[in-house]
Structure 1
């Protein structure tokens, strides 16, 4: 029986998982998404063509791969239907768990309304309804994808929920659909999605039993994990490697090689602590050169230097066997580059990741910069300063770098 290899984001998301999953997916029989929703965004460039993925696994660009959306995902029917229009012949190549929860339009309305009420204490959510959908799941009042196969019963159940929560919707000034509007909406979802709904847990088990090569991918990054991230400025699911097990119906013994995806610098979208954020010219250069705008929201990402303390912590949480170091080329041309090797907290130097980062100050180590790594696909051809930077990251995080990306293109990648 084979094991499922796993890709996991190590920072606050947006690390470049899409490129690596796409590159690796060419060698796998099945690619599975385990959690999150359409708040996530993978951008993949192939032969100059840009593909934006939010729910569909990145293996979709391998025409021989089976793509699975697991039970841990909250699925927006509208979003995935629109996303599917980018591709042809998905039937038989894409499967959606009948146990995944539905993220319906009213979830987004709740999300946006609640954020407005928080004012300057807003989390910085994407407003895509992810939190409310997961809340319904945990409160055991949610609806699952398999219920789309019985639209009339689903419609009645949702309407009953609307009636029970009517005071809340009125207080939030949310306009709900009529019975006729809701039924028509659900009928459309069923028509377009029914051929893709399946018992994906058994599918993945069968593939493992048949020694198929399986790749698992999550969404967002470790530092946004609901339990282990910078709470409350986190997402609503478990983004760490363990979340892939619950999100697909696997056990820990099913997991093979764990590859952590990490940027050569650090970015964050929305609010929350960010110890190494650079508010000056260097941060602006990273944002401009790295095209640091969210795939899902278009929001500009906050940028800063590599945080080895946070990355070491995340590597341990996920059991990383190796890192894929992304966007090294964005640091081309800097005279010097910085790595945060420790934190200062209340006058004390610490080398661990505390529960609250708000009072933390970074302790930097400065290294020589380099001219250019963009487009290089041979490690020996990298500038010596870039090699030293990579080696220092390995030393500080206790994790080897096995893959290095030097541009958004699939072929501009070094595999060690």
Structure 2
């Protein structure tokens, strides 16, 4: 099933699973096909991990930089919007790796909205302590402090450090002192985490503010008017703060809502092509429901760039979950096209198992009664927690996957397939409508 060629306007790339579906390679392919004014990050922070392998073998895990940085005609700039959470230390480390790959002065490619929240070592330490305290009931945190950053900003909006503060040392010192005091009163010292050095942070954040370009609310509307951009989502719809399966979720809106909000603020409501990304099988990094999980598939589909994470936990695998992906499509308001990655996986499963590739076409409860899930129209975490409890006990209805898995996925989801990846690089992509 194929659709029309990618439009010449803005694009929104959204993962329709639990993350790791291939947003990075999709953005890399988009940026290799045509020129964008920027890759815009509209949610999440340094916990994102989008692997891109260039045809020449260079590999980078994109976290805050946009995945168009290794585009063949030169790096596509990155804009960190007001809805992103910025970690200057992690950004500097990422820039160093990109420089080692041959990208000249990576930080000069970055513009950052002054209103964006800053994630600090205090947030990170508190988030890790909170996750450790959960013991066997861990939520699956990435350990980067993004959730604590969001929580603090909700509790103390006037005191939350922002990117604009990084250029104002006196104001930044005051906010960091308030942050440290607040978190110490809330949790006390944690011997497993070192105490951050405020002056080291102030110096590093001033260097960050000098190396990137800080912009105000006028920048993004001007950028959107001047050239198309691609919004690179972080995490997956099934981890969304409101639609995901609470509490195993992220403190971030992972649907297309944030890009659509930014477009609307710029007077360009709805002016973007929405691209959903899926694998031919379903994965989840860490704790939470994965109804059709089959641990044995992990050995067949082992990956070089995904494995057990010290905070998230194991990288889990199961057959393509049609129920979960239909839920994700409904939660994000649909998609115009699909990108399907890991198209070679069904053949690998067929060669390694007697059963061949399967997919999950339904759920039942423990009594065999069909179980259906649908996203709520209003935010309701208590409802989502009840859904999670039901999914943790649910059983998958498994059937043999059709002979042409990619076409079957497109047909079953009712969305045209725009591109298919059978390997890790842009050269492994097949774009039927452009051939």
> Does the aligned pair in 1 maintain the 2:41–2:79 contact within 8 Å?
yes
> Does the aligned pair in 1 maintain the 2:66–2:77 contact within 8 Å?
no
> Does the aligned pair in 2 maintain the 1:340–1:364 contact within 8 Å?
yes
Deviation of 1:244 (Å):
2.4
Q: 1:57 aligns with which of 51, 66, 70?
A: 66
Deviation of 1:25 (Å):
1.7
Distance in 1, matches of 2:184 and 2:46, equals 27
> Does the aligned pair in 2 maintain the 1:242–1:252 contact within 8 Å?
no
> Does the aligned pair in 1 maintain the 2:88–2:208 contact within 8 Å?
no
Distance in 2, matches of 1:124 and 1:130, equals 13
Corresponding residue for 2:427? 411
Report the RMSD for the aligned CA atoms in angstroms: 2.4
> Does the aligned pair in 2 maintain the 1:43–1:295 contact within 8 Å?
no
Distance in 2, matches of 1:392 and 1:185, equals 51
Task: Kindly indicate whether residue 307 of structure 2 is the aligned counterpart of residue 293 of structure 1.
Answer: yes
Task: Kindly indicate whether residue 32 of structure 2 is the aligned counterpart of residue 45 of structure 1.
Answer: no
Task: Kindly indicate whether residue 118 of structure 2 is the aligned counterpart of residue 109 of structure 1.
Answer: no
Corresponding residue for 1:366? 400
Corresponding residue for 2:209? 193
User: 1:133-187 CA deviation, whole Å, 9 max, x = no partner?
Assistant: 111122214110110110122112221333344333425456534xxx3123212
Greater Cα shift, 308-317 or 291-300: 291-300
Aligned residues: 391
- Flag structure 2 segments of 5+ consecutive residues without an equivalent: 1-7, 351-355, 376-386
TM-score by length of 1: 0.87
Corresponding residue for 2:168? 150
Corresponding residue for 1:13? 19
Equivalent residues in 2 for 1:14-93, closer than 5 Å = 14-26=20-32, 27=34, 28-46=36-54, 47-62=56-71, 63=74, 65-85=76-96, 86-87=98-99, 88-90=104-106, 92-93=108-109
Corresponding residue for 2:341? 326
Distance in 2, matches of 1:245 and 1:194, equals 30
Deviation of 1:9 (Å):
0.5
Equivalent residues in 2 for 1:9-408, closer than 5 Å = 9-26=15-32, 27=34, 28-46=36-54, 47-62=56-71, 63=74, 65-85=76-96, 86-87=98-99, 88-90=104-106, 92-139=108-155, 140=157, 141-170=159-188, 172-173=190-191, 176-177=195-196, 181-199=197-215, 201-210=217-226, 212-246=227-261, 253-280=269-296, 282-286=297-301, 288=302, 292-293=306-307, 300-318=314-332, 319-335=334-350, 336-345=356-365, 346-353=367-374, 355-356=387-388, 357-367=391-401, 385=403, 388-408=404-424
User: 1:323-362 CA deviation, whole Å, 9 max, x = no partner?
Assistant: 1001111332333211111111353224544733222211
Distance in 2, matches of 1:164 and 1:334, equals 51
Greater Cα shift, 201-210 or 73-82: 201-210
User: 1:9-59 CA deviation, whole Å, 9 max, x = no partner?
Assistant: 110001111111011023122211111111110111111111121111112
Query: CA 1:170–1:297 in 2, change beyond 3 Å: closer, same or farther?
Result: closer
Query: CA 1:330–1:215 in 2, change beyond 3 Å: closer, same or farther?
Result: same
Deviation of 1:397 (Å):
1.4
SS of equivalent to 1:137:
helix
TM-score by length of 2: 0.83
Distance in 1, matches of 2:39 and 2:306, equals 26
